[in-house]
A and B are shown apart, each in its own frame.
Chain A
Amino acid sequence: MSDTTLGGIASRMPKFIRRADPAVLTAFACIVVLLLVGSLYSRSFLSPEYLLQQLKVASFLGVIATGMMLVILLGQIDLSVPWSVAAGAMMACAAAAYGPAGVALAIPFGIFCGVLIGIVNGIGVAYLRIPSMIITLATNAVAQGLMVVYTGGFSPQDSATGAMRYLATGFTIPGVPNAVIIWALIGAAMVFVLTRSGFGRAVYGIGNRERAAYLSGIDTRRVVMIAFAVSGGLSAFGGVLLAGYASKAAQSMGDAYLLPSIAAVVLGGTSILGGRGSYLGTVAGVILITLLQSILSVMQMPEAGRQIIYGVVIVAMLLLYGRAPASR
């Protein structure tokens, strides 16, 4: 859409800029603006320590948004993020209470629970053809119910294992937080899968037109199901990391991640209708959202103002480049 309108100007620009998605460029431009605005507020905003701290906070959202992006590329959506995050965190902490074996298996068990939620979503969307926003809302409610029954309605007492804390807050390479390394690894794997594997091609194909993908011999239902399972697993892994960061799980810890994860993906230029988008955009979106949150908290904006600004920013960005084509 905007490629054609910008065509005249763009043809005079260097090739790498011309090839880039305007949405991704906009997102990166917004990051620069936010950094400048932040530095006006506080001298320490541009210091390496502060930026590294922001990157660490961003990596939790980044892991969750990676799964969300995979699902959005299919033209679906995963609204079960809040309780997948919480379930992953709680189950990992719960496993830690069962002796040394439990401590060793805590992280895989947490991720496994998220994958289970994702598989239920996937079966519903791919095989039962239930609209994804409905089935994922329902599994979110079921996961919440299960966790409420398990915890008795309070935050669980079990605390995170040493390994979880190490992953979230430790340093393997001096100066680079482990959480950032994990995000980088997951991101690299995602880029590889999306651009170099048949699965990734199938994801883009299904996002564009599932019928056509099916007729081309892709087992579209299996691909959709795997994508939802991966999304559930990554949400739960994000929860595990968050539990390691806060050293325990909490009831509503996932609520704060649904809207930002969708926003990060969409602000990064991934089409909400599916089939179009790059991981670089999602990275930009995640950093953008994290910086926005950080600036709002530096400005001591209350929760109410943050919610309003979120909503307005997302609608505004979507209106800029996320619109559906005009019918006929």
Chain B
Amino acid sequence: MKDWRYWLAEQRGTLLALGIFIVMFVIYTSNHPAGFTANVVQTAANKGVLLAFVAMAQTLVVITSGIDLSVGMIFLLTNCLASWLVVGTPMQTTLGVIAVLVAGLLCGAINGAIVIYGRLQPIVATIATGAVYYGIGLLLRPFPGGSVNEDLADAMTGRLFDLVPASLVVLLAVVLLIWVPFSRSVLGRAAYAAGSSETAAYMSGVPIRRGKFAAYTLAGLLAAIGGLFLTFFTYTGEAAYASGNAYTLFSIAAVVLGGVSLFGGKGSAIGAIFGALAFRTIGDLLFVFDFDPLWQPLFQGVILLVAVSLGAFALFRVRNRLEWFL
């Protein structure tokens, strides 16, 4: 087989997500009263990147065949933290940004340590740590409020050369600086291998523990970048339980739409980004077509339900009925 065919087979999920996104976005912009203008793209990009960062975080963990139900809460916690720290002179702002990112890394590392070295189930462990992170967020911001360095916030949510949304540029930079090096490194390969078959990976001497730990830690970092951006958009910090839960939920939907296998070992964060953008666009379509906003939660829920049910088609390929039971 030719090289490009391998590449195509590997990227099928990502390309499918890209296709879905493009179709959705074309429908969206062609029905939008303002049409395909820089403003529409900027608004869509700003909303989309928030979920894209959280979805990337979720992807890293899902690839190791785990799940992180605390990403939404890390996102909230870092949002609350940023509304305290990312203020003042450029120097103070820089330190604040670094502190927020380190806090995210720390949250991810705690998750990783508990799941990998504590040998707990990722679901329960991350629900519990999520409660802790939410509690800390609430401690930091009992009421919505705070502020952020508005120059930085405007620069991050504005447009470069009056054309390209800055948030998309940051997203691209994060992909190039974090995802690409990680997925090509030994640790990244180990994370994939651990998700694919942990025993086989262990037998082959792959550093699965370090790989998984790196995946959980980087997931915390990516969620923190998302939280930072949320602060840039809203100028405030708010510990809203429902919002954190929604982001966790949507990140799973985005990951599934983006062709990442929930059983681990398959998929890429780039697919999850397109999944996230597509998911956001689906939500926006409702507004373009003048649906009652009340229907939005139901609509998103149904899409999530359908998206996760699509995985069931793999059952038709099963020859031996025992393979139903993992």
Contact = CB atoms under 8 A, between A and B. Distances in A.
Interface of A: 77, 124, 128-131, 133-135, 137-146, 148-149, 152-153, 210-211, 214-215, 220, 252, 255, 258-259, 262-263, 266, 272-273, 302-312, 314-315, 318-319, 322-328
Contacts of B127: 258-259, 262
A81 to B, nearest CB: 12
Contacts of B311: 128, 130
Given A145-B297, A149-B295, A315 B114 contact: yes
A312 B133 CA distance: 10
24 contacts: A133-B69, A138-B304, A141-B300, A141-B301, A142-B305, A153-B294, A214-B325, A215-B322, A259-B128, A272-B124, A302-B142, A304-B135, A305-B135, A306-B135, A308-B136, A310-B135, A311-B129, A311-B130, A311-B131, A312-B132, A323-B120, A324-B121, A327-B199, A328-B199
B163 interface: no
A145 B199 CA distance: 41
Interface in B236-278: 239, 241-242, 249, 252, 256, 262-263
A266 B239 CA distance: 27
A21 to B, nearest CB: 18
Given A141-B249, A305-B139, A327-B202, A210 B130 contact: no
B15 interface: no
B302 A142 contact: yes
Contacts of B54: none
A131 B262 CA distance: 8
A220 B322 CA distance: 12
B119 A326 contact: yes
**B121, B129, B202, B241: which has the most chain A beta carbons within 10 Å?**
B121
Interface of B: 67, 69, 114, 118-121, 123-125, 127-139, 142, 198-199, 202, 239, 241-242, 249, 252, 256, 262-263, 294-302, 304-305, 308-309, 311-312, 315, 321-322, 324-325
A308 to B, nearest CB: 4
A324 B120 contact: yes
A199 B165 CA distance: 58
Contact of A141 (B120, B199, B304, B325): B304
Contacts of A146: 298
Contacts of A307: 131-132, 134-135, 138
Contact of A322 (B120, B138, B139, B304): B120
B261 to A, nearest CB: 11
A140 B69 CA distance: 14
A204 B123 CA distance: 21
A145 B118 contact: no
Given A128-B315, A210-B325, A220-B325, A308 B131 contact: yes
A315 B304 contact: no
Contacts, number: 165
A314 B129 CA distance: 9
Contacts of B119: 323-326
A154 B325 CA distance: 42
B237 to A, nearest CB: 14
B304 A130 contact: no
A149 B300 CA distance: 13
A327 B198 CA distance: 10
Contacts of A140: 301
A135 B306 CA distance: 10
Contact of B121 (A258, A272, A306): A272
Contacts of B130: 311
Given A133-B123, A210-B325, A252-B242, A138 B294 contact: no
Nearest to B246: A141
B118 A319 contact: yes
Given A304-B139, A323-B119, A128 B125 contact: no
A266 B300 CA distance: 31
A142 B118 contact: no
A310 B180 CA distance: 37
B125 A141 contact: no
Contact of B301 (A128, A142, A305, A310): A142
Contacts of B312: 128-130
Nearest to B120: A318
Contacts of A315: 114, 118, 120, 125, 128-129, 132
